[in-house]
């Protein structure tokens, strides 16, 4: 069970969003959509404390954190329970695919190296990259790098995996394999929050779609309801624009 | 014409001073590496107070000639701190070389650290690594690779700079050559020979540098 209460983030005078409440139960898959610059990514980053929120409380499992009085230990614990998948992969360039996945288990969870490597191999198997165990990121395709990025997040054994536009910087030919892996995780009921512009993915996979605009959550509903009968004018406007056939929207 | 026979005879004499020269350079490089990493991490992490002191340190040691610094340590400091009167030329030279070169090296290492893709830092933090784990396991290993060519250049420069120790009365490679030349009056032969020795030393190191770079770049081949 994950919950955000009253999460607010400002950059200087600019309020990105304020007083966001959101909660999801274990095994739930949430897709967050909305126009660029509405703070979707920032919201994810607040959950992982890559950005410090300016107000609010976070709860992940039995860990409750008041963001304004979070200790160093709170932050580290929170991060270990919320894994992050980055738009630009963020793989460690000096480590192999295997080491990228085992690093957190060794350094943070203090698992013995052999055990961590064995677990990392299992994960490589699941993400279909067993034969790339000893490859360095520079020699992997974008799609393979992002799958390793997801593998690293899986290794954290976190309560939730946060995906920040995981396919946005991929060449089109790699998008499907990454979405495929995410769907596989969804089938296994991995709890996740996904920020994406892949509407088809949202439709197929999400239990709930959250639409963000103007510094807040405008509406949230199961995908069928949100895509076919959006309640708010802003949602309708956004969906019209993004679902319009290519070319038409650019006119 | 050159007196080749004299040069041939002088070669083993001069080579016997090579160990001292290399010792001074290696010890100074060792301490300069430690000090410059420290300075670089302080600068990157913007540690209060220490950051300001680092800036001042770097500014002074880059802003004044090495020879002036050596004279300050050897001739100047004992005036201020009387127990330093016993400082040997070698110690003063190693101290001067360490401080001087660490100021330059700190900036190269800092640039190498800053040049590492920010997303790796965030990724490391996102999985719960601490700042120091991030530095040790992710950032510094990569920064080392980026900075290695530059640091090797500084090492080469440092070997040649040890010749300044001769102005502190140290009989190292350069000092020995000067003495020999003054005795034989064969200045061209003596200084040409010592130039060739320095050159050969640097060539050997450059070869080692290329091998090291190939090794360090292993992980980054596409």
Q: Structure pTM?
A: 0.82
CA distance B198 to A212: 68
pLDDT above 60: residue A248: no
Contacts of B116 in chain A (CB under 8 A): 93
**pLDDT at B215 (0 to 100):** 87
Tens digit of pLDDT for each residue in B160-172?
999 999 999 999 9
DSSP B90-123: HHHHHHHHHHHHHHHHHHHHHHHHHTS-HHHHHH
Confidence band of A133 (pLDDT split at 50, 70, 90):
very high
Verify whether the Cβ–Cβ distance A79 to B221 is below 8 Å.
Answer: no
| Share above pLDDT 70 across residues of chain A, in percent, rounded to a whole number | 97
Name the token pair of B34: 């430690």
Sorted by where each starts, the structural domains of chain A and their CATH numbers stand as 2-40+54-243 (3.40.50.300)
Contacts of B138 in chain A (CB under 8 A): 92, 94-95
pLDDT above 90: residue A107: yes
Contacts of B125 in chain A (CB under 8 A): 50, 79
CA distance B35 to B33: 6
Helix axes B173-184, B187-216, angle to 10 degrees: 160
Domain extent at residue B194: 4-220
Confidence band of A24 (pLDDT split at 50, 70, 90):
very high
pLDDT above 70: residue B14: yes
If you average pLDDT over residues B3-16, what whole number do you get?
Answer: 92
The beta-carbon neighbor of A152 closest among B127, B138, B220 is B127
Q: What is the mean pLDDT of chain B?
A: 92
Tens digit of pLDDT for each residue in B23-32?
999 999 999 9
Contact yes or no for A108/B129 (Cβ under 8 A)? yes
Count each helix (H run) and each strand (E run) in chain B, helices first.
11, 0
CA-based nearest residue in chain A for residue B130: A76
**pLDDT at B85 (0 to 100):** 80
Closest to A78 in 3D by CA, of A46, A119, A103, A106 = A46
Closest to A195 in 3D by CA, of A52, A4, A38, A12 = A38
- Separation of CA B25 from chain center: 6
Name the token pair of A82: 């919320």
Contacts of B144 in chain A (CB under 8 A): none
Name the token pair of A2: 């994950």
pLDDT above 70: residue A247: no
**pLDDT at A44 (0 to 100):** 95
Q: Where are the beta strands (DSSP E) in A34-92?
A: 55-60, 63-66, 82-85
| ipTM associated with this complex | 0.90
CATH number at residue B117: 1.10.3720.10
CA distance A161 to A141: 22
The number of domains in chain B is 1
Three-state SS for A11? strand
Verify whether the Cβ–Cβ distance A86 to B219 is below 8 Å.
Answer: no
Contact yes or no for B32/B102 (Cβ under 8 A)? yes
Name the token pair of A202: 């949202």
If you average pLDDT over residues A150-162, what whole number do you get?
Answer: 95
């Amino acid at each position: 069970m994950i919950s955000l209460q009253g999460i607010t983030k400002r950059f200087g005078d600019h309020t990105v969003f304020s007083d966001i409440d959101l909660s999801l139960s274990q095994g739930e898959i949430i897709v967050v959509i909305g126009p660029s610059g509405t703070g979707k990514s920032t919201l994810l980053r607040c959950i992982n404390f890559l950005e410090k929120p300016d107000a609010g409380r976070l709860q992940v499992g039995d860990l409750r954190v008041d963001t304004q009085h979070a200790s160093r230990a709170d932050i580290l614990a929170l991060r270990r329970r919320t894994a992050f998948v980055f738009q630009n992969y963020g793989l460690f360039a000096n480590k192999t695919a295997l080491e990228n996945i085992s690093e957190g288990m060794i350094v943070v969870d203090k698992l013995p190296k052999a055990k961590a490597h064995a677990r990392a191999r299992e994960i490589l198997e699941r993400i279909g990259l067993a034969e790339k165990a000893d490859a360095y990121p520079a020699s992997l395709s974008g799609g393979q790098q992002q799958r390793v990025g997801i593998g690293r997040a899986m290794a954290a054994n976190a309560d939730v995996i946060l995906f920040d536009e995981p396919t946005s910087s991929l060449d089109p030919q790699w998008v499907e394999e990454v979405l495929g892996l995410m769907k596989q995780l969804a089938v296994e009921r991995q709890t996740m929050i996904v920020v994406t512009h892949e509407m088809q993915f949202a439709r197929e996979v999400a239990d709930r779609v959250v639409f963000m605009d103007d510094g807040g959550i405008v509406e949230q509903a199961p995908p069928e309801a949100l895509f076919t009968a959006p309640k708010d004018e802003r949602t309708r406007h956004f969906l019209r624009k993004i679902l319009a056939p290519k070319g038409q929207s650019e006119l | 014409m050159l007196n080749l026979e004299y040069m041939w005879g002088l070669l083993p004499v001069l080579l016997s001073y090579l160990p001292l020269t290399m010792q001074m350079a290696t010890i100074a490089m060792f301490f300069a590496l430690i000090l410059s990493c420290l300075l670089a991490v302080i600068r990157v992490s913007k540690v209060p107070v220490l950051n300001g002191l680092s800036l001042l340190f770097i500014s002074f040691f880059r802003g004044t000639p090495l020879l002036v610094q050596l004279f300050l340590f050897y001739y100047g400091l004992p005036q201020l701190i009387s127990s330093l009167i016993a400082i040997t030329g070698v110690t003063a030279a190693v101290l001067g070389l360490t401080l001087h070169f660490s100021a330059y090296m700190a900036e190269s290492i800092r640039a190498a650290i800053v040049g590492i893709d920010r997303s790796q830092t965030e990724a490391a933090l996102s999985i719960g690594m601490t700042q120091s784990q991030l530095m040790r396991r992710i950032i510094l290993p990569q920064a080392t690779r980026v900075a290695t060519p530059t640091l090797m250049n500084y090492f080469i420069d440092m070997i040649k700079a040890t010749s300044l120790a001769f102005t502190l009365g140290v009989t190292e490679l350069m000092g020995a050559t000067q003495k020999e030349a003054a005795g034989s009056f064969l200045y061209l032969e003596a200084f040409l020979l010592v130039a060739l020795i320095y050159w050969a030393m640097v060539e050997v190191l450059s070869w080692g540098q290329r091998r090291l770079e190939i090794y360090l770049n292993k992980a980054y081949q596409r």
